[in-house]
Chains A and B, each alone.
Chain A
């Protein structure tokens, strides 16, 4: 009779974490920034059809990095959770905190018990409010860790380096164009450049229509970068 290899729980978790982290590090990063007029999300994404950033509900947006099919399924699940809650109760009862908790639960479950492998994704759930102080930026890690961020939030490969660059350039009175500019500078570092076609940019407007989510077209991104 053969004996199964013994793997300590610590080792198993570490292996799973390494696996997920490697998958995420392969993907390209994205940044969300709070400004006075909106929350802007800037993602490095050369595809024009496979979106990383999208609308969940009236004032809530979603962004994912890592494996596309995995975070896109989670995006749809988020739209469903939000719409069901809005249908059952009221549109005002849909909030980012509850959604972020549900995402954390799904990722945590898959990481620790249910899945054959952890999901190779990191998620961002942001909700815009009347003032930046009441905005919500939730960053959810592959293992279900839920972080409540302020000012800006970086997801994906080389998040540490990008955060450092953001830390030095962030101000709380940024215009939309300036925010796009520093986000792109932080994403690229000093060695490479990105133009509008390599970027996916979207905003959640603080004031305006019920649906706050807007995509920023290539032309507008290009003019912000000049």
Chain B
């Protein structure tokens, strides 16, 4: 491999997708007409994010479905994007995971080329462009709908955004959910969310929202006590990303299940 060098007018700058296009590895290639049933590809579902006093909590279940069957039980749909932000993705698993990878690379690449990190708003905008680049595929059924959340050091608080398949970017104030179980999850969030939630309360609320989503939506996975697989729940505050340990979630779900039994 030779070193990629460009003349001043031809330089792709700090955009990693543009660099990929220049070297002939377009991450969003134009698709011909696709036939067939897109639901037969693995789909990832139900992610959410909510603000709390000091930052944001993000959560997502672990299930991927292909049509009527469960294709994966340990998907990581909620991942760290960089030091102060995370991304969660619902939609067709293949392009969704690829978009997460590309987004993580883009944030780090920008930081290295430019010598400083993007602002949180700038990161949200970058993701919007990637979702828009995926529009031709989305029109054919390969839809990717992310949530982006992080701690904004300029405003000293957590912020969150959701997207539509055309790249539309909407900043939400309090909470957001995406994926097939999102109606159920956001109802729980709407009822339970209040100003100045503590971290523990926010984690608990996220766990309950995913519980209710998995209870009534077949494509959303609940806590898998048998295999010890729990949803991914993470918080982002001024000191960065930290994932809630499985033992903590095991105890949380134990409490929730105890309550459900008494209903």
Task: List residues of A whose CB falls within 8 A of some B CB.
Answer: 49, 51, 54-56, 73, 76-81, 83-88, 98, 102-103, 105-106, 211
Verify A78–B113 contact, CB threshold 8 A.
no
Which residue of A has the minimal Cβ distance to B102?
A87
Which residue of B has the minimal Cβ distance to A55?
B112
Residues in chain A near residue B112, CB distance under 8 A: 54-56, 79
Residues in chain B near residue A81, CB distance under 8 A: 1, 3-4
Given A102-B2, A105-B3, are A83 and B16 also a contact pair (CB < 8 Å)? Answer: yes
A80 to B4, CA, bound (A): 7
Given A51-B115, A55-B112, A87-B105, are A80 and B1 also a contact pair (CB < 8 Å)? Answer: no
Residues in chain A near residue B229, CB distance under 8 A: none
Looking at B18-26, B63-71, B127-135, B139-147, the stretch in contact with chain A turns out to be B18-26
Hey, what's the 0/1 contact readout for B101-118 against A, CB within 8 Å counting as 1? 100010011001101000
Given A83-B105, A83-B109, A84-B19, are A77 and B115 also a contact pair (CB < 8 Å)? Answer: no
Whether a CB of chain A sits under 8 angstroms from the CB of B5 is: yes
Residues in chain B near residue A211, CB distance under 8 A: 108
Residues in chain A near residue B101, CB distance under 8 A: 87
Which residue of A has the minimal Cβ distance to B14?
A76
A106 to B2, CA, bound (A): 9
Residues in chain A near residue B16, CB distance under 8 A: 83, 87
Hey, what's the 0/1 contact readout for B144-176 against A, CB within 8 Å counting as 1? 000000000000000000000000000000000
Verify A106–B5 contact, CB threshold 8 A.
yes
A51 to B113, CA, bound (A): 12
Verify A54–B19 contact, CB threshold 8 A.
no
Which residue of B has the minimal Cβ distance to A98?
B1
Give the secondary structure class of A's interface: helix
A87 to B20, CA, bound (A): 10
Verify A80–B115 contact, CB threshold 8 A.
no
Residues in chain B near residue A83, CB distance under 8 A: 16, 19, 105, 109
Residues in chain A near residue B109, CB distance under 8 A: 79, 83
Tally of B interface residues using CB under 8 Å: 17
Given A83-B109, A87-B105, are A106 and B3 also a contact pair (CB < 8 Å)? Answer: yes
Verify A54–B115 contact, CB threshold 8 A.
yes
Interface contacts beyond A80-B19, A84-B19: sample of 7 additional A-B pairs, CB < 8 Å, sorted by A: A54-B112, A55-B112, A77-B3, A84-B1, A84-B25, A102-B3, A211-B108
A86 to B25, CA, bound (A): 13
A56 to B3, CA, bound (A): 13
Verify A84–B5 contact, CB threshold 8 A.
no
CB distance from B87 to the nearest CB of A (A): 17
Residues in chain B near residue A49, CB distance under 8 A: 115
Verify A77–B5 contact, CB threshold 8 A.
yes
Residues in chain A near residue B2, CB distance under 8 A: 102, 105
A73 to B112, CA, bound (A): 13
Verify B3–A103 contact, CB threshold 8 A.
yes
CB distance from B142 to the nearest CB of A (A): 20
CB distance from A189 to the nearest CB of B (A): 31
A76 to B19, CA, bound (A): 12
A80 to B19, CA, bound (A): 8
Interface centre among A49, A78, A84, A105 (most CB of B within 10 A): A84
Verify B1–A85 contact, CB threshold 8 A.
yes
Verify A84–B115 contact, CB threshold 8 A.
no
A15 to B101, CA, bound (A): 48
Residues in chain B near residue A87, CB distance under 8 A: 16, 20, 25, 101, 105
CB distance from A113 to the nearest CB of B (A): 15
CB distance from B241 to the nearest CB of A (A): 12
Interface centre among B3, B4, B23 (most CB of A within 10 A): B3
Which 6 residue pairs spanning A and B have beta carbons closest together? A102-B3, A80-B4, A77-B3, A81-B3, A79-B112, A77-B5
CB distance from B228 to the nearest CB of A (A): 26
Verify A84–B23 contact, CB threshold 8 A.
yes
Verify A79–B113 contact, CB threshold 8 A.
yes
Task: Identify which of B20, B23, B105, B113 contacts A76 (C-beta below 8 A).
Answer: B113
Which residue of B has the minimal Cβ distance to A213?
B112
CB distance from A58 to the nearest CB of B (A): 10
